[in-house]
Amino acid sequence: MTDTIQTQANETKGILAWIERSGNKLPDPVFIFLWCIGAVMLISVIAVFFGVSALHPTQVDAAGNALVVNAESLLSAANIQRLLVEMPATFTGFHPLGYVLVVMLGAGVAERSGLFAVAMSGAMSKAPQSMLTPAVALIGMLGNLAADAAYVVLIPLAGVVFAAAGRHPIAGIAAAFAGVSGGFSANLIPGQLEPLLFGITEAAAETLDPTWNANMVGNWYFISAMTVVFLPVIWYVTDKIIEPRLAPIGAGEAESSTAGIIKAPNTKLEENEIQGLRKAGLACLGIILLWILFCIAPGTPLIEDSATGVARYNPLLQSLVAGFFILFLSAGWAYGSAAGTIKNHRDVVRMMSEAMADLAYYLVLAFTAAHFVAMFNWSNLGLIFAINGAAFLEGSNLPDSILLAFIILFGATINLFVGSASAKWALLAPVLVPMLMLIGISPEMTTAAYRVGDGSTNIITPLMPYFPLILVFCQRWQKEFGLGSLAATMLPYSMLLLASGIVMTIIWVILGIPLGPNAPVEFVLQ
């Protein structure tokens, strides 16, 4: 099957073939960061030689004059010593690392106990036929909380459910793929992506404002609105554009729902699974009530009584990483105990260990990303670029909404070649975040704009890790369905999701709607 996919990829012509050929020539993201570190070292030496500098917008020297920020050579004795001596601290101090590891400890139990897969299957089986498309799209976007499980469970299941309803199964696969991957950042509740992205945002923002702390619900309102906006887009594209143009499935062409690479889950839940979902729901409710108690009980551990204004709620916002961990762990354990997938505490420990094993590649990537971000900051190049870039943007007199629209388009283009959301953001955030902070755009708004561009083109690039798997799902129903067919099917989703995301962002900025609790669009540098 892999050879077949590769042959079809080689035969595909046009822009998609060029993207695939160009992207395949890129090194692994780990080595992209290593090459970037080498480039930053060279540029820092050149910048010092030419005396590159900028005036800090807020800090002053002893004489009251604006502090001069000079480029620093990464090959100086002090910085080489810093690199070698502080290497462990640079790695362990990388903000996203701790956030991701903590959340994934709990999410690993929820995934491996079967909670995520059964919850999506149960939700799909309850969808009325008249609302099948929006149900698939919505479950796909909500399924982002389940990460990989959404791809391997929901997408093939959507094809089976559409076929059972007398509709084209590839339309179901396309709608689910658009929801899971095209709406990658859309959701009604924050999830695993928040600590991953906001940890990087925090590191970037601290180059300009060392007191800035990541707000794990800083995009909550925005991603909820994305869900509402994207849902009718996916619904319209599926029913009005994609399904009418799909070739009919031949009488003997479709395979049974249990054949193929991935066995399609049953749409009817067993009694123990239903009992497990009930117990998981009660566990979630209990954790939510516990967090509410922590905010209103005597002593209020998550409310800072000595602070005023929104600062009072900082402990609550900063506790949400731990909250996600406990929520996923409790729900997964409760489900597994009732469903029989968790026999004792040793199973829980095993599932947590397996979740950490799955993050082995991320740890390697985080090591190189941490050093790239740190060394970029040591060189002062990020701050200098941000100050000069902000001056240029201010001189352009472009509205903030239009600037963010360009950032969305830039992120969508980069996403065609580098699929990892965290890898791209680790490369872009050190310049984009402080640069936009200097012109009054908050780190939360910059992160939100990046997320719009990152998700929209996931579904049309052959370099997306799950793209070949989605192709296999389609070929279970239509043997001749090739790489170009899949890309052409998903292109209308990509374009309309990107356009609607840009329009939503522009309106959001113009109206100045908060992106989440204590997360305004504007930023005022103190």
pLDDT at 54 over 80: yes
pLDDT at 12 over 70: no
* Residues of the chain above pLDDT 90, percent: 39
Enclosing domain of residue 145: 2-511
Residue 14: which pLDDT band, with cuts at 50, 70 and 90? Answer: low
Helix and strand numbers (H, E) in the chain are 25, 2
Residue 28: which pLDDT band, with cuts at 50, 70 and 90? Answer: confident
Q: Would you say 444 and 219 are in contact if contact means Cβ atoms under 8 Å apart?
A: yes
Average pLDDT, the chain: 83
Residue 22: which pLDDT band, with cuts at 50, 70 and 90? Answer: low
pLDDT of residue 465: 67
Query: Is 364 part of a structural domain of the chain?
Result: yes
Rounded to an integer, what distance in angstroms lies between the CA atom of residue 3 and that of residue 364? Answer: 29
SS3 67: strand
Rounded to an integer, what distance in angstroms lies between the CA atom of residue 289 and that of residue 300? Answer: 14
Rounded to an integer, what distance in angstroms lies between the CA atom of residue 244 and that of residue 185? Answer: 28
| HEC sequence for 397-462 | CCCHHHHHHHHHHHHHHHCCCCCCHHHHHHHHHHHHHHHHHHCCECHHHHHHHHHHHHHHCHHHCC
Rounded to an integer, what distance in angstroms lies between the CA atom of residue 52 and that of residue 33? Answer: 24
pLDDT at 302 over 90: no
pLDDT of residue 21: 60
Q: Would you say 347 and 336 are in contact if contact means Cβ atoms under 8 Å apart?
A: yes
Most confident of 106-110, 118-122, 382-386, 496-500: 496-500
Rounded to an integer, what distance in angstroms lies between the CA atom of residue 507 and that of residue 503? Answer: 6
> CA 521, 185, 197 angle in degrees (round to 5)?
70
Q: Which residues of 116-144 are buried (b: 16+ CB within 10 A; e: fewer)?
A: bbbbbbbbbeebeeeebbbbbbbbbbbbb
Rounded to an integer, what distance in angstroms lies between the CA atom of residue 37 and that of residue 379? Answer: 11
Q: Which of 9, 501, 515, 474 is nearest to 242 (CA)?
A: 474
Query: Is 518 part of a structural domain of the chain?
Result: no
Sequence-ordered list of residues with C-beta below 8 angstroms from that of 188, at least 6 positions apart, any chain: 142, 223, 224, 227
The arithmetic mean of pLDDT across residues 378-397, rounded, is 81
Query: CA separation (Å) from 372 to 61, 91, 199, 201?
Result: 29, 10, 15, 14
pLDDT at 355 over 60: yes
| HEC sequence for 23-62 | HHHCCCHHHHHHHHHHHHHHHHHHHHHCCCEEEEEEEECC
pLDDT of residue 146: 65
Query: Is 523 part of a structural domain of the chain?
Result: no
pLDDT at 88 over 90: yes
pLDDT of residue 19: 56
The arithmetic mean of pLDDT across residues 120-128, rounded, is 72
Chain-centroid distance, C-alpha 104: 14
The arithmetic mean of pLDDT across residues 14-23, rounded, is 57
pLDDT at 7 over 50: no
Tokens 């319209």 locate to 236
Query: CA separation (Å) from 46 to 34, 41, 406?
Result: 19, 9, 29
Most confident of 114-118, 155-159, 332-336: 332-336
Q: What is the total count of domains within the chain?
A: 1
Residue 15: which pLDDT band, with cuts at 50, 70 and 90? Answer: low
Query: Is 522 part of a structural domain of the chain?
Result: no
Sequence-ordered list of residues with C-beta below 8 angstroms from that of 420, at least 6 positions apart, any chain: 29, 365
Residue 4: which pLDDT band, with cuts at 50, 70 and 90? Answer: very low
Q: Which of 142, 178, 187 is nearest to 456 (CA)?
A: 178
pLDDT of residue 251: 52
Dihedral sign, CA of 440, 442, 446, 448? negative
Q: Which of 37-51, 167-181, 379-393 has the lowest mean pLDDT?
A: 379-393
Query: Is 519 part of a structural domain of the chain?
Result: no
Query: Is 283 part of a structural domain of the chain?
Result: yes
Query: Is 182 part of a structural domain of the chain?
Result: yes
Q: Which of 184-198, 225-239, 465-479 has the lowest mean pLDDT?
A: 465-479
Q: Would you say 160 and 121 are in contact if contact means Cβ atoms under 8 Å apart?
A: no
Strand partners, 70: 53
Rounded to an integer, what distance in angstroms lies between the CA atom of residue 202 and that of residue 479? Answer: 47
pLDDT of residue 331: 94
**Cα end-to-end span (Å), the chain:** 58
Q: Which of 155-169, 244-258, 444-458 has the lowest mean pLDDT?
A: 244-258
Query: Is 358 part of a structural domain of the chain?
Result: yes
Dihedral sign, CA of 104, 452, 36, 374? negative
Question: Which two three-digit tokens encode residue 209?
Answer: 């404002």
Rounded to an integer, what distance in angstroms lies between the CA atom of residue 189 and that of residue 328? Answer: 13
Q: Would you say 471 and 422 are in contact if contact means Cβ atoms under 8 Å apart?
A: no
pLDDT at 308 over 80: no
Chain-centroid distance, C-alpha 153: 19
Query: CA separation (Å) from 252 to 47, 255, 423?
Result: 67, 8, 44
Rounded to an integer, what distance in angstroms lies between the CA atom of residue 341 and that of residue 165? Answer: 31
* Residues of the chain above pLDDT 70, percent: 87
pLDDT of residue 314: 73
Sequence-ordered list of residues with C-beta below 8 angstroms from that of 357, at least 6 positions apart, any chain: none
